Structure 1
Amino acid sequence: MSSLYGSGDVRFFDRIARLYDVAMPSARVGPLLSGLEYARRPVERVLDVAGGTGRATRALSREGPEPVVVDFSAGMLARARADGREGVRADAGTLPVRDGAVDAVVVVDALHHLPDPKRAIAEAARVLAPGGVLVVQEFHPTTTLGRGLVLAESAVGFDSTFWTPAELCEMFGQAGLRTRIVRDGFEYVVAGRRPEDVPVASDERKRERH
């Protein structure tokens, strides 16, 4: 099985799992909720993909349904479960979820760690019900803070890839999602909605043809 992060990234997050929540600030819930509002269906079933210790899940659960944390790092996922969160150890590129099964997927400050982000986005689009949304929070690499973060992650040894909001919107579009930049700046948020006129069954037929 391929890993949710690059192999070096997984080992790093396993090592720091116990300290992660001490070092990281709470997730900003406002922009994430604004992204979820782009949905055209009730948002009740949510996946927090590459959710680590459940940082975004904790913030979102205070405002609505609690997401299920999906992560490949056993150490990070153990921390989420110890905090009472439902967790699934899985690869972002092969989610163990049927087509159209969820109303929303969130990926917070983690897409840049994934070895195949386009595949992860396509997989998130697959599991969304019509009208459901993918909400991604990422870091803008051309801002002053963003340039510093790019250098810092490279120094740590991460093989990270960062995108501008427009570039991420293009990736969403390639996965068949209708996009919106919810929040711009260093820590930006992009939302992509699965069109309501695309039936879930079309995904199954598409795979059968291939």
Structure 2
Amino acid sequence: MNPKTWLKPFQRSSVFYLLKMGLFYQGLGLILMYVGSFFATSVISDYEIPQFPVSVSLALSSGLLEESIFFGIPYYMTGSPHILLGSGIVWSIAHLFSSGIFSLDALSYGGFLFTIPYMFFTIRVWISKKGWFAIVFHSAWNFALLSIYCMLGLRQCSVFNDVTDVLNLIMAVSAGTIVYLTHTNKKKDVNRFLYLVPVTVILIAIAILFSTEITF
């Protein structure tokens, strides 16, 4: 946990070691989340922890989408851990507004705090050249956590909730394709026109979201 190593590759990059470190960082995140939520409910009057429907599809595709947009693409385009830190901070802050309501008594303080340790973990995984592990771990964690909540009756589970989930899946696959292209481009030149297809798909999906007045 030396701050000097927070933006450096892991000394070991075996799957078992990364899994162990991932669970450790997520454990820290859970502690921060519950402590932050406790203080928020204690300090802010009428504060309730934001709840929003999460489907199996959304849980799985969000890992691919978020890792690709905020970490994979910036990493393969720049190779700079400091750029990853910047995009990671944006990713963490975005979790404050996961409820879609911009009000002090509706922000997801716990969700924001939860992402901070994981942000440094995933940065280190990407710069350790194990980006695929970050995607798989992120998606698997989302799915496992959702499954536990469903079994405990804390959430209602479904494969798809609405069109948002379908569009999120489409954008995730498209973003993952861009990551693959940027990764491949490091080894051999990739025709830049190939990027147009996934980028266009993402833009169309975003346009549909806005046209149907869906916020994300």
Pairwise same-fold verdict (TM > 0.5): no
Instruction: Please identify the structure whose Cα radius of gyration is greater.
Output: 2
Task: Provide TM-score, normalisation by structure 2.
Answer: 0.28
Task: Provide TM-score, normalisation by structure 1.
Answer: 0.28
| Greater RCO (Cα-Cα under 8 Å, separation 6 or more) | 2
